[in-house]
Structure 1
Amino acid sequence: MHYLRVTTLSNIDISQCYNQLTGLFAVAATILGLSTSSTNSIQYLNDALINKALQNSGQKGHRVDYSLDMVDGKRTIEWRKKAKTLGSLMSFRLVVDESELDKLAFGIMDSLADYIANWIERIDETTGVKAVVLAGSDFANEVLTERLSLRVGKNFPITVNRQLELDGSNLSAGALYLKMRRR
C-alpha cells in the first residue's frame, strides 16, 4: 500500500500547477492514498481530497504546518521546496489510520484557512484592510472557502468571487486598492 502511494506520487505531473494550491492538494491527496491509479488527473486528485474533507462530521482536524516564505520579493507558501508542509502531512499520514483520513483531509484545508486568516490580519496591522475578496478557482473548494470565511468574516467584510482570476493565479492575496488623489 505505501509503495503504491510513492509510485503514484512520482507519476503525477504538477509542472503546470506547482505554484498553485491545486498542485499542493493533488500531492496531499496522493499522500493520503486517495488516488485510484497512477494516471489520475490533478483535478481528480483535488476533488478526491475535497470529497474526503467533506466527509469529516466534526469541525476539527489535524493541524498541518504551512510556512510563509519570501520569493522574488513576494510572500508565498513554498510547499514544494520546504519540507515543513509535506513533512507535517506525511508524519500525520504515518500515524493516522484509514478511518481518520477525513479528519486529516479537513485539517489540510482548515490549517490553510487559519494560516491565510493570520496572514490577512498581519497585513491589516501593517497596511490596513477594509474588506477581503476571495477570488479564483480555488474557492470552488467549499471546505477551504467556508473555513476561511468563518475566520476572516469575523473581522472584515468578505466577498467570494470564484470566477475572477487575479493575475492567472488560483489564489491571490494582498492586492491593494488605493484611491487616487486629485490634484
Structure 2
Amino acid sequence: MIKIKNQINFLIILLFLVLTNFLTSCGGGSKTVLPDAPPPYPDSPFVKEVQPGSFNQSTFSNTTGRDYYDRNRNVASSGWNRSDTGGNINDKYTSKNSYTIQAKATVWVLIQDKLGNELEWLSLEKGQSAPITHSGPLTITCSSGESLNITSPDGKPFQPASMTKGISIIRIPK
C-alpha cells in the first residue's frame, strides 16, 4: 500500500513538473516574423533629423534626461526648413562623387555604415532628392523601395537586387 502511494506521489510530482515546464516554455519552433512597420514618425523623440555634414558623436552620447530635451528643442527651433532648399535637402553638400537618392513618393530613409552604425535619417517627399555624402560601403533602409530612385555617381540608375513595396534594404558598394 505504501509502495503504491509513493508511486502515485511520484507521478503527481512528475506531472506537475512536466506541466509547469510546458506552460513556461518559449514555444520553440515558431517562426519570428518582422512587422511591416513604418520607421519612426517625424515628431518622435527618438528621431532627430541631422543635416548632412553635421554629424557629431557627442550629439548621441547622452539621450536621456534634460540634456536630450534641450538639444532636441534647440534643433526644432533652429529655423532650418526643408522648403528653404528648393526641394533638394542637401543642395550645398552635392558632390559629383556621390550616389543620389530621389523620392517618387513620401519615404523615410536610414543610411548606415558597413558596421550598422546610424549615419543619417532622411524624410523625403515626392520629387525631393539628396546626395549620399558618406563614404565606404553603405546600407540604405527605406520605408518603401518602390518610392526611391538611386543614381550612381556617373548618373546611371543604380539597380539593387530587389525593390519592394514595403521596407527595403539596399547595399551600396562605394
The TM-score normalised by the length of structure 2 is: 0.23
The TM-score normalised by the length of structure 1 is: 0.22
Structure with more strand by fraction: 2
Structure with more helix by fraction: 1
